Amino acid sequence: MRNIIIAGNWKMHKTQAESQEFLQHFKPLVEETNPGREVVLCAPFTALGTMSQSLHGSRIRLGAQNIHWEEQGAYTGEISGAMLWEMGVQYVVVGHSERRQYFGETNETANLRVIAAQKQGLIPILCVGETKAQRDAGETESVIIQQIQRGLVNVDQTQLVIAYEPIWAIGTGDTCEAQEANRVIGVIRALLSHPDVTIQYGGSVKPDNIDEIMAQPEIDGALVGGASLDPQGFARIVNYQ
* Residues binding ligand PGA (CB under 6 A): 9, 165, 170-171, 202-205, 223-227
Of 115, 61, 58, nearest in space to 91 by CA: 61
Task: State which residue has the least CB distance to ligand PGA.
Answer: 225
> Shortest distance, CB of residue 154 to ligand PGA, whole angstroms?
25
Q: How far is the CB of 227 from ligand PGA (least distance, A)?
A: 6
Comparing CB distances to ligand PGA, the nearer of 107 and 200 is 200
Nearer to ligand PGA, 189 or 206 (CB): 206
What letters, b where the CB count within 10 A reaches 16 and e where it falls short, cover 212-238? bbbebebbbbbbbbbbbbbbebbbbbb
CB 200 within 8 A of CB 7: yes
Catalytic residues: 96, 165
Please list the residues that pair with 164 across neighbouring strands. Answer: 128, 201
CB of 71 to ligand PGA, least distance (A): 27
- Of 89 and 127, nearer to ligand PGA (C-beta) is 127
Distance of CA 101 to the CA centre of its chain: 17
Q: Cβ of residue 202: shortest distance to ligand PGA, in angstroms?
A: 4
For the chain, the C-alpha Rg in angstroms (whole number) is 17
Q: Which is nearer to ligand PGA, 67 or 227 (CB)?
A: 227
